[in-house]
Amino acid sequence: MDGFVNVLKPTGMTSHDVVTWARKLFGQRKIGHTGTLDPGATGVLVLSLGRATRLSEYVLELSKSYRCEMVLGKTTDTGDAFGKVVEQKSVPEFSQEQLEEVFRKFKGNIKQVPPMTSAVKVGGKKLYQLAREGKTVARKERLVKIYSLDIVRMDNEAGITSITFDVSCSKGTYIRTLCHDIGQELGCGAFMKFLLRTTVGPFEIGAAFTLEELERCKGEPEQFLLPMDTAVSHWPKVKLTSEYFRRKLCNGNLIQSSGFVMDADHSQSGVRIYDHNDCFIAIGYVQTTPAGMQLKANKVFCHG
């Protein structure tokens, strides 16, 4: 099978656990995931199967959206509910306007320090491996982008104050770090209690399959398998004009402008390429030369 599966990852499983499970279910070794989701988190986890694994890097680049609940008044060493409380403060009363003013500060381009529980490597070792050894090391700040950040509600039950919010962000954004930083700005600290990933680019939670659903329909992949070009559906489309040009492209040749048509501006970094029968066969780019436009494939999924 070649394509993507939009999985609704349950809590308690690592992203790699889901990949291992899928390999056994589908009897296919070439399966990977396209962006880690913490064991305690749930939501959209996109699996790539077969030749689609060659497009995983482009899914990793897609923006993501989450619904998160954070608890105010406590800071943990992991930034989430599974860590040890390292600081506790009383939570002042906040008006809706005050909260929104603080949240606005975290929209746009912001800098984050990756948490010690992340897979970022320092000195050849992943941070979470160092954390398991009881070590804490200095980490460089990273620039990420928060596209939207909206408060859903604020609750106060049994003396516990929590805020639920929706966030849309660039790749590499750590939501537990966002919770921590908002808590620091509020002056009382905070940790991430619950995290649900709702979208990864075009992959939405409403169309995600539970593991049980995948087990029931594993013999009918057309029910759950998404086409390979889903990963680059936002790129301009290029269509070859004949079988002759399909063979040329699949054999690594440049295609002159007479051999293809485009449906949009080619100024973006990449294009998705289809043959004359409208079958997705490659990704590449269009370049302008003195002789005119030329099409070049850099990943081909067909044979000449």
Task: Output the pLDDT for position 263.
Answer: 79
How far apart, in Å, are the Cα atoms of 117 and each of 19, 65, 113, 121? 21, 20, 11, 11
Give the chain's mean pLDDT: 92
Please identify which residue in the block is written with the tokens 């780019």: 285
Residues composing the chain: 304
Question: What token pair was written down for 149?
Answer: 């950040």
Question: Which CATH code for domain 3-62+202-230?
Answer: 3.30.2350.10
pLDDT in tens, 76-86: 999 999 999 99
pTM of the model as a whole:
0.90
Domain coordinates of the chain in residue numbers? 3-62+202-230, 65-190, 235-300
The set of catalytic residues is 38
> What's the confidence (pLDDT) of residue 267?
57
pLDDT number for residue 266 = 60
Q: State residue 242's pLDDT score.
A: 96
CA distance 35 to 171: 9
pLDDT at residue 57 tops 70: yes
The two counts, helices (H) then strands (E), for the chain are 7, 20
For domain 65-190, the CATH superfamily is Pseudouridine synthase (3.30.2350.10)
- Of 3.40.50.10490, 2.30.130.10, 3.30.300.30, 2.60.40.1730, which CATH number belongs to 235-300? 2.30.130.10
pLDDT for res 120: 67
What are 102-153's pLDDT values in tens digits?
A: 999 999 999 998 776 666 676 666 766 666 767 677 778 899 999 999 999 9
Q: What is the number of alpha carbons within 13 Å of residue 230 lying toward its C-beta?
A: 23
The structure tokens 């039950």 sit at 157
pLDDT digits (tens, 9 = 90+) for 233-243: 999 999 999 99
